């Protein structure tokens, strides 16, 4: 008769506000200790929420950390650039060259957006919690973007190997391994370098230069018919 004891509807806006509040609190904790040392107790103390209340908004501490990193990650930028490159009238070699340089530019922007410190702490978290890293990495926006770009480039590379656009001077598997190892090495070294001090201009130049060297080496190994 009087409407009963109907619970108020929880809106998406309300949930987003709560999630953002938790992330704001975790960001403050992160100012005091490394990301890989943040505990659920820290989150509880900083938010004033119970553990059960926090789990209403995030399934785990790892999910909170992922959400914090994703908050600062450029969204959809790499996908647009790569698609524009492959939709252009450039030659196969030019498309791969520009795509590799686009990956380098994205990595530079990523380090500037989330900070070398946070990227470095993600590496440490991966090494300390290796079993959970695959699940964790699969939810990171930047990792999904980079993996998508690599897969698109590899598919395009093999398509053009079949039609004779490239005549590799070393095995293709070795070239792909070289790209992956070099990419990870540049990204990791840039994070370590960034941890040594606040040098954003030098850091950006270093990443760009290293990707330029990587790109020239890959194109040389592929031996395209023409640039």
Question: For 12-65, what is the HEC assignment?
Answer: HHHHHHHHHHHHHHHHHHHCCCCHHHCCHHHHHHHHCCCHHHHCCCCCCHHHHH
| The pLDDT of residue 3 | 47
Give the pLDDT confidence score for residue 159 in this predicted structure. 95
CA gyration radius, the chain: 22
| Domain end among 53, 70, 87 | 70
Asked if residue 85 lies in contact with residue 95, where contact means CB atoms within 8 angstroms, the answer is yes
For position 178, what pLDDT does the model report?
Answer: 96
Per the prediction, the chain carries an average pLDDT of 87
- Domain housing 112: 73-222
φ and ψ of 224, to 5 deg: -70, 155
C-alpha to C-alpha distance for 44 and 40, rounded to whole angstroms = 6
The tens digit of pLDDT for each residue in 22-59 reads 999 999 999 888 888 889 999 999 999 999 999 999 99
Tokens matching residue 138 = 């699969």
- Same-domain pairing of 97 and 168: yes
Domain count for the chain? 2
Which of 70, 97, 115 represents a domain boundary (last residue)? 70
Residues 32 and 139 in one domain: no
Tokens 């070099």 belong to 182
What CATH number should be reported for the domain holding residue 51? 1.10.10
Weakly modelled stretches of the chain, pLDDT under 70: 1-9, 196-205, 226-227
């Amino acid at each position: 008769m009087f409407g009963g004891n109907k619970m108020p509807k929880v809106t998406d806006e309300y949930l987003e506000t709560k999630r953002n509040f938790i992330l704001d609190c975790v960001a403050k904790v992160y100012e005091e200790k490394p990301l890989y040392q943040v505990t659920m107790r820290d989150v509880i103390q900083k938010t004033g929420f119970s553990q059960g209340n926090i789990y209403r908004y995030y399934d785990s501490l790892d999910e909170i950390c992922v959400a914090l990193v994703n908050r600062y990650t450029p969204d959809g930028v790499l996908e647009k650039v790569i698609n524009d490159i492959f939709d252009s009238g450039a030659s196969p070699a030019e498309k791969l060259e520009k795509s590799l340089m686009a990956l380098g530019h994205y990595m530079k922007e990523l380090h500037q957006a989330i900070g070398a410190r946070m990227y470095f702490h993600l590496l440490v978290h991966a090494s300390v919690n290796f079993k959970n890293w695959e699940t964790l990495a699969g939810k990171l926006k930047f990792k999904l973007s980079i993996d998508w770009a690599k897969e698109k480039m590899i598919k395009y590379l093999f398509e053009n190997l079949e039609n004779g656009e490239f005549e590799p001077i070393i095995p293709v598997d070795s070239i792909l391994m070289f790209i992956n190892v070099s990419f990870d090495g540049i990204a990791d070294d840039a994070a370590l370098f960034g941890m040594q001090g606040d040098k954003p201009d030098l850091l950006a130049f270093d990443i760009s230069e290293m990707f330029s060297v990587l790109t020239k080496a890959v194109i040389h190994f592929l031996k395209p018919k023409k640039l």
